[in-house]
Amino acid sequence: MQMPQIATPDTDKFLVPIPCPDNPEKSLAIQAEIVRILDAFTAMTTELTTELSLRKKQYNYYRDQLLSFEECDVEWKTLEEVAHFANGKGHEKDISEDGKFIVVNSKFISTDGLVAKYSHSQICPLFKDDILLVMSDLPNGKALSKTFIVDEDERYTLNQRIGGITVKDKSEMLPKFLHYYLNRTPQLLKHDNGVDQTNLRKGQILEVKVPILPLQKQEHIVSILDKFDKLTKSLSEGLPREIELRQKQYEYYRDLLLSFPKSDEAA
């Protein structure tokens, strides 16, 4: 119920292992070797994390380049003209750990699906190619206007404060292209004043202007952004997976190297 605090008397009682206490020179050598090994694992994780950060910056750069269009170069339509919009519904009373349907809320979208809640009831059904957009976030948050595209039918249900967007004519607008274009769009982020919680309204979302490009060009842009997206976000392959494995490896060896017998077991 309260923020945990560690008092100084508690830390004074911590027991710190000293390997080979009767041989200081050997003890320091063992400590140095343990530090060297753990530093090596830490360095690998840091290098991969830095690489991932650079790749994300590279992705954002190319995304901005690919999705930037001059007003006079393309046709523009409002989101209301090219898509249908629907609000989600509250699922608080239907949450169940063994539920069949994933409840798409802001946490699910902001973590790229890592954190999920489930429900036995599909109160607000979703279908393949539906685009979901976070409508509410704290000041300067990272979730506002973040999007998620549904990958299959009969798997998800839409929670409140998440907007559901369905393309009217797929021969004019590819859902995946619209998903990338709306994701964290400045046209919606401008409503975040940095002070109060932002709650996007339906009207604000539907007035967003989107470019109308030839389908071939939309497909080309989507194919490039898909590659970057897979590299930076995939849990089964790419850098995030490699970082996760290295972290687990570090934790395994840390526990192994820092486990010492108690004094009465030393003999």
Task: Specify whether the CB–CB gap between 165 and 129 falls below 8 A.
Answer: no
Please report where in the chains the tokens 């650079």 appear, as a residue. Answer: 54
Answer yes or no: are the C-beta atoms of 92 and 65 closer than 8 Å: no
Structure confidence at residue 26 as a pLDDT band (50, 70, 90): very high
DSSP-assigned beta bridge partners for residue 59? none
Class of domain 75-212: alpha beta
Q: What is the dihedral of CA 109, 112, 118, 121, to 10 degrees?
A: 50
Q: Which pLDDT does position 12 carry in this prediction? A: 75
- What is the pLDDT at residue 267? 40
- Mean per-residue pLDDT, 209-228: 94
Overall pTM > 0.85: no
Contact between 134 and 148 (Cβ < 8 Å): no
CA distance 28 to 64: 53
- What pLDDT does 225 receive? 92
| pLDDT, tens only, 90-114 | 877 778 888 889 999 999 999 888 8
What per-residue confidence (pLDDT) applies to 1? Answer: 57
User: In angstroms, rounded to a whole number, what is the distance separating the alpha carbons of residues 100 and 221?
Assistant: 34
Give CA–CA dist 145/179, Å, rounded.
Answer: 10
Cβ atoms within 10 Å, residue 200: 20
- Per-residue pLDDT, 205: 97
Which residues are 195's β-sheet partners?
Answer: none
Q: What is the pLDDT of residues 58-86, one digit of tens each?
A: 888 888 899 998 877 899 999 999 999 99
Q: Which of 216, 212, 219, 222 has its CA nearest to residue 71?
A: 212
The percentage of the chain sitting over the pLDDT mark of 90, rounded to a whole number, equals 55
- E-state strands within the chain: 75-78, 83-87, 101-104, 117-119, 131-134, 136-137, 147-149, 156-158, 162-167, 198-199, 209-212
Residue 152's pLDDT band, with cuts at 50, 70 and 90, is very high
Name the pLDDT band for 18 (thresholds 50, 70, 90).
Answer: confident
